[in-house]
A and B are shown apart, each in its own frame.
Chain A
Amino acid sequence: MKTNTYKVIAESGIHARPATGLVKVATKFACDIFIEYKEKKVNLKSILGVMSLGIPKGGSISIFAEGKDEEDALEGIESFLKSEGIVAS
């Protein structure tokens, strides 16, 4: 299992639009992917799960991936988070 941790810098946190993008990226990968915020861990392929976290600016998030393509998945998600300005690059 691989893990990465980030601090959210986007002004409005991870709201509908970035959450939609994140889930779209995650579903491209076969491995299981989770996102954790404030000790609550949800499936990153679930828009409802991600939105239910209500992640604000300044929140610390961890992404977990487990499976064959876990490294590619973490890389893909990180590049999305950075290119969208959700976390610092």
Chain B
Amino acid sequence: MNERIIGIAASGGVAIGKAFLLVEPNLTVIKKTISNTQDEISRFHLALSEAEQELQAIRNHAANVLGEENAAIFDAHLLVLSDPEMLSSVENKIKAEEFNAEAALQETADTLIEMFQQLDNEYMRERAADISDVTKRVIAKLLGVNIPNIAMINEEVIIISEDLAPSETAQLNRKFVKGFTTDMGGRTSHSAIMARTLEIPAVVGTSKVTSTIKNGDLIIVDGDNGEVLINPSKEEILLYEEKRSQLEAHKKELSLLKNEQTITLDGKQFEVAANIGTPNDVESVLEHGGEGVGLYRTEFLYMERDALPTEEEQYQAYKEVLEKMGRKPVVVRTLDIGGDKQLPYLNLPKEMNPFLGYRAIRLCLAEQELFRIQLRALLRASNFGNLKIMFPMIATLEEFLEAKHLLLEEKQSLQKQGFAVAENIEIGIMVEIPSTAILADQFAREVDFFSIGTNDLIQYTMAADRMNERVSYLYQPYNPAILRLVKMVIDAAHAQGKWVGMCGEMAGDPIAIPLLLGLELDEFSMSVPSMLKARNQINQLKQSEMKKLVDKALGMQTSEQVRLYVKEALNIE
């Protein structure tokens, strides 16, 4: 079947390859009575040992890719396979009740899962999912069905799935996974952001790739236009192969820019920095000529594990990033958890509006011990590079002053204990709440810098959740209201001699970049793959002209007017 599916262009580039369908296989268990119970028990043990081998391989792979820490969860999975209580329950059902092994295991697992689900703690309830995961693997072995495994892919493929969890995206091996496409998700969903970081072409939100594409179909993923071609014609393949090689040639050209400065045609210099999530990302920041890290999200240290990271673990991670970046600035954002990012082991209360709730600096100021541990780790690491500390979700001046006070307290106590702490660490805030943007002149007297987080600033200014499809059209980076707020923040900071960065999606957007140049933003921080394109664009513009351009845009009425105006004025495709 030759078909074209339209979705959301989540990560640029063209990928051509065989479809690898990542869908749950049918593991329906049918209960039977068996006569030779001894044979059935042997069959059960054989399936257990096959599942164990598979899990062991996944565990080792996860340890290599994600680190020992993240692989530890698989150790618990492995222990479940040899759990004496579970084994004896299954064996009893086979022996005494003459169940087939699949049904005996399913019944045992169901009882266990129900028990875990009734426990009064969310962390424990989630362990029910682990049991179900392990059970499925054994049942698949008993049924002779294969569970597709993303980490074990060893030929070039394009992944087709309903959605990709962060842990799954992290397991993608770029060598083999050439692209992916999903039924769900949007441009700013986690899987899309990860795809851009990994530079894998991706089309998401197609709503029907898993139901349309069959395993092994030839697929083209056009991540620039948001199109997926199924079993394309010879002509189409040639066309896209041509496009792919052009893109690669262009990429090569851009890579020549990586050691150059970012300067407009009229001689104004800007800094192009990267947003990163883990120390592993630093290598590609440097490969792409990043002049700094404008946003180091520390949440990943806290996620997908079962307890808070220790001061030592955090210290090691921060130190690694600072050391690798050398003298280049690294802006570390303190813990921004809550909202959509939940940590099961913290047992945070469920909220009606988590994005407007107990999160980020609010949580850190309430759970001071947790915050102080992070601050200590940061301060101890500060000696190894050019550290700047930034607090997220600041809404009031009191919040900033309190956070700064805690930081200074920890600094003094560390120094008393004989730790070396860098002097003059710049302390800044994210501007993502309108109240803070409006009082930017007052904040500018207290902080060393601002970083504008446009993803949230736009949502809060427009009062629209960008993940909600019905109102996502209100996510309007070019709306004059947003541009005016950004201008207020930049002007207020410059009046006090402070610098302003931007670490939201907008900083890497080719339509927004000329406007931000005109508003005199100092630092552009973006996903790694956008950096060279942004630098190339800035190098070809004149700031004096962009000032005129943005002056006009600030007076326009709609986001669409601004977008069309910039596109036409600068001839952007």
10 closest cross-chain pairs (CB), A and B: A12-B307, A47-B79, A46-B85, A15-B306, A16-B76, A54-B124, A20-B76, A20-B75, A16-B306, A12-B345
Closest partner residue, chain A, to B308 (CB atom):
A11
CB pair B83–A12 under 8 Å, yes or no, is no
Chain B positions within 8 Å of A, measured between CB atoms, are 72-73, 75-76, 79-80, 83-86, 112, 115-116, 119-121, 123-124, 127, 130-131, 305-308, 345
Residues of chain A with a CB closer than 8 A to B308's CB: 11-12
Query: What does the 1/0 interface line of A48-64 toward B look like (CB < 8 Å)?
Result: 11011010100000000
Partner of B83, one of A16, A24, A46, A56: A46
For B112, B115, B121, B123, the residue with the greatest tally of chain A CB atoms inside 10 Å of its CB is B123
Say whether B124 contacts A45, CB under 8 Å: no
Residue A17 is within 8 A (CB to CB) of chain B in the complex: yes
Contact of A15 with B345 at beta-carbon distance under 8 Å, contacts A20-B75, A23-B79, A54-B124 already known: yes
User: 1/0 contact trace for A13-56 toward B, CB 8 Å?
Assistant: 00111011001100000000000000000110111110110101
Q: Which residues of A contact B76 (CB under 8 A)?
A: 16-17, 19-20, 47, 51
Question: With contacts A15-B345, A46-B85, A47-B79 known, is A52 near B306, CB below 8 A?
Answer: no
A42 proximity list for chain B (CB < 8 A) = 85
C-alpha gap A12/B75 in the complex (Å): 18
A51 vs B116: C-alpha distance when bound (angstroms) = 9
Asked if B85 contacts A49 (CB within 8 A), the reply is yes
Verify A20–B72 contact, CB threshold 8 A.
Answer: yes
Task: Take A15-B306, A17-B307, A20-B75 as given contacts and tell me if A52 and B119 are in contact as well, using a CB distance cutoff of 8 Å.
Answer: yes
- Residues B124 and A51 in contact, CB atoms below 8 Å apart: yes
Collect the chain A residues with CB atoms within 8 Å of residue B123's CB. 12, 15, 54
Residues of B within 8 A of A11 (CB): 307-308
Task: Tell me, rounded to whole Å, the shortest Cβ–Cβ distance linking B371 to chain A.
Answer: 14
> Which residues of the other chain, A, contact B127 by a CB distance below 8 angstroms?
16, 51
> B79 contacts A54, CB within 8 Å?
no
What are 11 A-B residue pairs whose CB atoms fall within 8 Å in the complex? A10-B307, A15-B123, A16-B72, A16-B76, A17-B72, A20-B76, A42-B85, A46-B83, A48-B85, A49-B85, A52-B116
Q: Which residues of A contact B72 (CB under 8 A)?
A: 16-17, 20
Is there an interface contact between A43 and B84, defined as CB atoms closer than 8 Å? yes
CB A28 to nearest CB in B, in angstroms, measures 13
Q: CB-CB < 8 A to A52: which residues of B? A: 112, 115-116, 119, 124
Q: Using CB atoms, name the residue of chain A closest to B346.
A: A12
- Chain B: CB-nearest residue to A85: B310
